[in-house]
Copies of this chain bind each other. A is one copy, B any other.
């Protein structure tokens, strides 16, 4: 039975957006913080993976948001490495309020890459063992992203350049940046009158410092469909479900 890991976290003002609630990109940062901290505690953190010449890659994250925590709120970050096979891992994340109620529930799908060859690598056996996960032949995939419809017009688009501070200490564009570009392209009036309730994001191709990407959106009812393009290549795609905010 996989071991759940928990850590406390205080949401602070620079993790919040103009609504005073945890921003979507910071939500992605917080969950990765918890799994990195679990790995460090188990002795299989960044020092271990760097030494092995491998690194975790997030392939997809499916999140349900019951309530975004507020600036100043004390929350608990919970994560469980659920299932492993030699090449893929599936993880569950939760952000809980101080009373232990779910605020955010997320499934994450990961693989490992060889940092030099930049291709898929086997997950080291002892690393998988440390999490005491369920070993499975085939890991159930997450729901496909119901992405942008090329027969319909793009409602909003904007160009972004990958910045120095978008790169984290793993020398990659921080995953949270994709959701940043996806949110930013929406009109301010939309963002201040709507609250995200769910998001399904799939990371397809990595972008690098100095690259120019285009964030595209189609609005379909209460769902926005997103795509980050690098030239003709889809770098990431997502759907976000929204409800009217109680302002």
Write the residues of chain A forming the contact surface with B, with a CB cutoff of 8 angstroms.
12-14, 16-20, 23, 25-26, 29, 32-33, 36, 40, 71-72, 163-165, 167-169, 171, 174, 176, 180, 183-184, 186, 188, 191, 209-210
Contacts and interface: CB of A to CB of B under 8 A. Distances in A.
A172 to B, nearest CB: 9
24 contacts: A13-B29, A13-B32, A13-B33, A13-B36, A13-B168, A13-B169, A14-B29, A14-B33, A14-B168, A16-B168, A17-B164, A17-B165, A17-B169, A18-B164, A18-B168, A18-B171, A19-B169, A40-B72, A71-B169, A163-B184, A164-B183, A164-B186, A164-B191, A165-B184
Contacts of A29: 13-14
A12 B25 contact: no
Contacts of A36: 13
Contact of A164 (B165, B169, B184): B184
A176 B210 CA distance: 21
Contact of A12 (B33, B167, B184, B188): B33
A71 B174 CA distance: 14
A170 B237 CA distance: 31
Contacts of A168: 13-14, 16-18
A81 B35 CA distance: 38
Contacts of A184: 163-165
Among A20, A171, A176, the most chain B Cβ lie within 10 Å of the Cβ of: A20
Contacts of A13: 29, 32-33, 36, 168-169
Contacts of A174: 14
Contacts of A23: 165
Contacts of A12: 33
Contacts of A40: 72
A31 to B, nearest CB: 11
Nearest to A164: B184
Nearest to A45: B72
Contacts of A188: 164, 209-210
Nearest to A24: B165
A14 B176 contact: yes
Contacts of A186: 164
